[in-house]
């Protein structure tokens, strides 16, 4: 079966994502869709289909399986193709096994103290002003500093590093050469950093990744560089928006804010519920069937682009009763915000820890945090792949320290 209903528009998915997804889920499981790049895709909206597709080996992440001319996504230089989110087994299995040996729970735990110090430093800088755009001055810079610390980027290089990553991740479409230059600068930087770490290993993930060996196998230079890029791509904006969306969910619910202040242990449940209810990654990475197949009873041809909506799946009433209700007490097992299957987020523990630590630092310092603009003036980024605010102006008074 090939559905013939009116395709959803990008504009609807941006202006009212959850209302639009609800209508789509009700009218059918899989919809024809024209992506922002003007290329056709299939949009999968129901929980069971999305979860099954995330783990279906017939759906490839390798863009060489896309129909010619059917994929207009952003491409990195060929040397960076060897990254986990552009790979299928057995290459993915080999690479992920090596990476997991270095990206351990112990390494994430060791970051907890530094993450708290970085969060406190950022808040020290804005506290005297009594107001700030929390995205620009806190939720944005924090994950970059954490990635630098994780990879062992020297402090003296961090200003350049942030400028390049920003130019790459949120490019100025009117000046595309800036993005290309940023990618080239970052590539040269990582190549040199890898050589430095090879000669003088430090206590960081990059040094551990260089040292990882298994059955005589090790990561090549291109694989190391690709991985460093992937960590920037996957570990920056997602965390920024998860922090921003969590702060907004609290400011919208003063009662909840009071509850969380009394019980900081509730932060983990809070962050988990925000990731389900308003997570930063509405769509999984595009996938391409390696053979004709059925998804939700709809025939999808080999090489067509398939978009799996994590945002829609996480609001599917068939899985989460009364899904639009924000409810810390609900059963959230099966939350797909961080993916599912072999590509399940490698940085899940780090991303959660960063967000919880950021929230703890913020709430502990400011008792009277409030929005600094009328609620209806907040605007969302005009993207279907990222769910995050453009800015989050807040204010506090200087006697507002709490100590939780």
List residues binding ligand HEM (CB under 6 A).
Answer: 54, 84-85, 96, 230-231, 234-235, 238-239, 242, 279-281, 284-285, 310, 337-339, 343, 345-347, 350-351
Residues ≥6 apart with Cβ < 8 Å to 22: 315
Report the nearest approach of ligand HEM to the CB of residue 197 (Å). Answer: 17
Helix pair 237-251, 348-365: axis angle to 10 deg: 40
Looking at the Cβ atoms of 233 and 320, the one nearer to ligand HEM is 233
Looking at the Cβ atoms of 82 and 242, the one nearer to ligand HEM is 242
Kindly give the residue spans of alpha helices, DSSP state H, lying in 236-325. Answer: 237-251, 254-262, 267-278, 310-313
Looking at the Cβ atoms of 130 and 189, the one nearer to ligand HEM is 189
Report the nearest approach of ligand HEM to the CB of residue 322 (Å). Answer: 23
Looking at the Cβ atoms of 167 and 358, the one nearer to ligand HEM is 358
| Inter-residue long-range contacts of 87-96, CB under 8 Å, 24+ positions, other chains counted | 87/61, 87/62, 88/57, 88/60, 88/61, 88/62, 89/57, 89/342, 92/61, 92/342, 92/343, 93/342, 94/217, 95/219, 95/223, 96/342, 96/346
Q: Which residues pair with 288 in a beta bridge?
A: 60
Would you list the DSSP string of 63-105? GGGSPTT--------GGG--SGGG--TTHHHHHHHHHHHHS-H
Looking at the Cβ atoms of 141 and 279, the one nearer to ligand HEM is 279
Query: CA-to-CA distance for 47 and 45, rounded, in angstroms?
Result: 7
The sign of the dihedral angle between the CA atoms of 254, 255, 256, 261 is positive
User: Looking at beta carbons, which residue is closest to ligand HEM?
Assistant: 347
Report the nearest approach of ligand HEM to the CB of residue 379 (Å). Answer: 21
Rounded to an integer, what is the distance from CA 120 to the centroid of its chain?
A: 23
Report the nearest approach of ligand HEM to the CB of residue 328 (Å). Answer: 18
Report the nearest approach of ligand HEM to the CB of residue 238 (Å). Answer: 3
Looking at the Cβ atoms of 145 and 338, the one nearer to ligand HEM is 338
Query: CA-to-CA distance for 270 and 287, rounded, in angstroms?
Result: 30
Report the nearest approach of ligand HEM to the CB of residue 138 (Å). Answer: 16
Report the nearest approach of ligand HEM to the CB of residue 97 (Å). Answer: 10
Looking at the Cβ atoms of 247 and 338, the one nearer to ligand HEM is 338
Q: Is 282 helix (H, G, I), strand (E, B) or coil?
A: coil
Looking at the Cβ atoms of 303 and 339, the one nearer to ligand HEM is 339
Report the nearest approach of ligand HEM to the CB of residue 338 (Å). Answer: 5
- CA 378-73-176 angle, to 5 degrees, is 70
Burial class (CB in 10 A: 0-12, 13-18, 19+), 6: exposed
């Amino acid at each position: 079966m090939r559905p013939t209903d009116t395709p959803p528009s990008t504009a609807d998915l941006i202006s009212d994502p959850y209302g639009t997804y609800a209508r789509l889920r009700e009218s059918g499981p899989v919809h024809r869709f024209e992506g922002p790049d003007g290329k056709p895709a299939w949009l999968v909206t129901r929980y069971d289909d999305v979860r099954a597709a995330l783990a279906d080996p017939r759906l490839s992440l390798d863009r060489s399986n896309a129909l010619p001319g059917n994929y207009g996504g952003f491409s990195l230089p060929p040397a960076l193709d060897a990254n986990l989110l552009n790979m299928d087994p057995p290459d993915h299995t080999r690479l992920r096994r090596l990476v997991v040996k270095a990206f351990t729970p112990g390494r994430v735990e060791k970051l907890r103290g530094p993450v708290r110090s970085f969060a406190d430093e950022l808040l020290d800088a804005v506290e005297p002003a009594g107001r700030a755009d929390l995205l620009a001055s806190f939720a944005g810079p924090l994950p970059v500093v954490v990635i630098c610390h994780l990879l062992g980027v020297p402090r003296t290089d961090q200003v350049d590093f942030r400028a390049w990553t920003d130019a790459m991740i949120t490019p100025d479409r009117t000046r595309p050469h800036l993005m290309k230059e940023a990618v080239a600068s970052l590539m040269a930087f990582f190549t040199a950093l890898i050589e430095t770490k090879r000669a003088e290993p430090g206590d960081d993930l990059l040094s551990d990744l260089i040292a990882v060996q298994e059955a005589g196998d090790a990561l090549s230079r291109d694989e190391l560089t690709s991985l460093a890029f992937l960590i920037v791509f996957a570990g920056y904006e997602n965390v920024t928006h998860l922090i921003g969306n969590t702060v907004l969910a609290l400011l919208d619910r003063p009662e909840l804010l009071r509850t969380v202040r009394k019980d900081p242990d509730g932060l983990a449940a809070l962050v988990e519920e925000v990731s389900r209810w308003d997570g930063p990654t509405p769509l999984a990475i595009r996938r391409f069937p390696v053979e004709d197949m059925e998804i939700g009873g709809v025939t999808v041809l080999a090489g067509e682009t398939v978009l799996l909506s994590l945002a829609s799946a996480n609001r599917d009433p068939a899985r989460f009763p009364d899904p639009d209700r924000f409810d810390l007490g609900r059963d959230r097992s099966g939350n797909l915000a961080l993916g599912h299957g072999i590509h399940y987020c490698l940085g899940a523990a780090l991303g959660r820890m960063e967000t919880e630590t950021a929230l703890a630092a913020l709430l502990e310092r400011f008792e009277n945090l409030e929005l600094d603009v009328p609620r209806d003036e907040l605007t969302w980024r005009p993207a279907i792949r990222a769910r995050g605010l453009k800015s989050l102006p807040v204010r506090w008074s200087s006697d507002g320290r709490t100590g939780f």
